[in-house]
Amino acid sequence: MNIDQALEVRNQKILAALENQDTTVEFDDALENAMVLNMGPQHPATHGVLRLLIKLDGETVAACVPELGYLHRGYEKLAENCSFHEFIPHTDRLDYISPLMNNTAYVLAVEKLIGIEAPRRTQFIRVIISELARISSHLIAIGAMAMDVGALTVFTWTFTEREKLYDIFESLTGARFTTSYTRVGGVAQDMKPEHAAMISAFLDQFPAKLDESVRLLNTNRIFIERTDGVGVISREKAVAMGMTGPCLRGTGVEHDIRRFEPYLVYSELDFDVPTFTEGDALARYYVRLNEIKQSVLIIRQALAKIPTGPIHAFEPKKVLPRKDRVYTKMEELIHDFMIINFGIEPPAGEIYHAVEGSKGELGFYIQSRGGAQPWRMKIRSPSFMNIQSVPLLVKDELISDIVAILGSVDPVMGEADK
């Protein structure tokens, strides 16, 4: 089959799917016309390489079919072919807006599989980095959503704040974007007092700056009118469709895995789960905004409560030893050699562990047969499940609302396409 035939086959199937969605279009007026519009994969408002095929009736969306796979890199196949430690850098590239969150989610799943727990100090560090990642992700979500409906200034202001966070990440992890910070049973480097000071300094100035940015939106008539009552989904439908994260909480479901089945030390920290019942784009925006404020509170508490102590679990056959000991101690050299070359070899079994990622329930389902590599690893990505509901959200809305709705759903294609 040559390329032209292949494209023909593919387009036929996509069109057939569009046609089958039971949307009958009436042609009363000669000017009224049904049109199939292609949006993306290279479109600034699709937040990456999401492709939407839209059937229009005049300016109203009659049907929408998302096409995924433009960023498919086969991470689940790769995971089956590399050891548990080797996969950590790949998790950075899933939800590339909040890599620290993915690092944490992945190692928590692996730790559950091999049955170890990280020391308390590490658990606090993981809470802090997860919440910092959540703030940086939600800042992008809010800024990009505002930009999509025309308020460019907010994007530049939230980006400035995110830039400060990335300076912290750079100092703490050694990389701005692809952090690969966590390890099975620990983290790569300890959080030093200067990092805590940097985070405190950021938190001290951040609420005022955030307030400045959102004041441009919360009383902005254009922003409110473009998002209020747009892209509504009911609570029952959102649950049935498997929506998660801020999108689900925007419909009134108080489901937050940090509260629902607490992992790390979230049960010791005091925070609220913001929910809104409207289920529209504005509700999703407000959920994110309030979550940022809650994250600030969580980080403050964690910084106050963080104990001193080791950052690696004492499990010599499972946890990578510190590098300075590898170079000087025989025992650690052997363990390092064994873990790097033969992997950690967890017991045979299967686990599913989910965390409340910045986009929603980020879960890892791992089947192990006792080898150094997982037999099967499934990444339950929140963006994938959220994009699935986009056709419901945009139906009967105006074509110009699609960008506002996509901005409020906040998909990240690295995660949806895997």
Partner 1 sequence: MISTVVELLKTRFPGSVISISEFRNETTVVLRREDIVDVCMALRDDESCRFDYLSDLCGADAYTPENRFEVVYNLLSLSHKHRIRLKITADETDARVPSVTSVWPGAEWPEREAYDMYGIHFDGNKDLRRMYMPEDFDYHPLRKDFPLMGIPGAMPLPRK
Q: Give the total of residues touching partner 1 (CB under 8 A).
A: 49
Shorter beta-carbon distance to partner 1: residue 10 or 305: 10
Edge-to-edge order in the sheet of strand 376-380: 349-356, 361-368, 376-380
Q: Does 354 bind partner 1 (CB under 8 A)?
A: yes
Q: Does 18 bind partner 1 (CB under 8 A)?
A: no
Q: Does 373 bind partner 1 (CB under 8 A)?
A: no
Give the SS3 label for residue 349: strand
Helical axes 99-114 vs 120-148, angle rounded to 10°:
140
In the complex, least distance from residue 173 CB atom to partner 1, rounded to whole angstroms: 29
Shorter beta-carbon distance to partner 1: residue 197 or 348: 348
Assess contact for 95 and 362: CB atoms under 8 A: yes
Q: Does 370 bind partner 1 (CB under 8 A)?
A: no
Give, as ranges, the residues between 252 and 271 that touch partner 1 (CB under 8 A).
Answer: 253, 255, 260-261
Q: Does 340 bind partner 1 (CB under 8 A)?
A: no
Q: Does 349 bind partner 1 (CB under 8 A)?
A: yes
Assess contact for 121 and 311: CB atoms under 8 A: yes
Assess contact for 141 and 407: CB atoms under 8 A: yes
Beta bridge partners of 54: 37, 64
CA distances for 294 relative to 90, 120, 217, 264, 298, angstroms? 29, 22, 19, 17, 6
In the complex, least distance from residue 264 CB atom to partner 1, rounded to whole angstroms: 17
List all residues 6 or more positions away from 257 whose beta carbon is below 8 Å from its beta carbon: 263, 354, 355, 356, 361
Reduced DSSP (H G I as helix, E B as strand, rest coil) percent helix, strand, coil of the chain, to 5: 50, 10, 35
Assess contact for 135 and 213: CB atoms under 8 A: no
In the complex, least distance from residue 246 CB atom to partner 1, rounded to whole angstroms: 16
Shorter beta-carbon distance to partner 1: residue 90 or 162: 90
Q: Does 367 bind partner 1 (CB under 8 A)?
A: yes
Out of 35, 72, 153, 305, the only residue in the binding site for partner 1 (CB under 8 A) is 72
Of 41-49, 237-245, 298-306, 307-315, the segment contacting partner 1 by CB under 8 A is: 237-245
Q: Which residue has the tokens 């994009």?
A: 387
In the complex, least distance from residue 198 CB atom to partner 1, rounded to whole angstroms: 36
Q: Does 277 bind partner 1 (CB under 8 A)?
A: no
DSSP state of 26: -
Q: Does 376 bind partner 1 (CB under 8 A)?
A: yes
Q: Does 366 bind partner 1 (CB under 8 A)?
A: no
Residue among 360, 67, 140 at smallest CA distance from 238: 360
Binding mask 295-334 for partner 1 (x = CB under 8 A): ----------------------------------------
Tell me the DSSP string of 79-111.
Answer: HTTS-TTTTHHHHHTTSTTSHHHHHHHHHHHHH
Shorter beta-carbon distance to partner 1: residue 83 or 301: 83
Q: Does 81 bind partner 1 (CB under 8 A)?
A: yes
Q: Does 15 bind partner 1 (CB under 8 A)?
A: no
Give the SS3 label for residue 247: helix
Residues in contact with partner 1 by CB under 8 A are 1-3, 6, 9-10, 13, 17, 20, 68-69, 72, 74, 76-78, 80-81, 112-113, 115, 239-243, 253, 255, 260-261, 349-352, 354, 361, 363, 365, 367, 375-376, 378, 380, 384-385, 388-389, 417-418
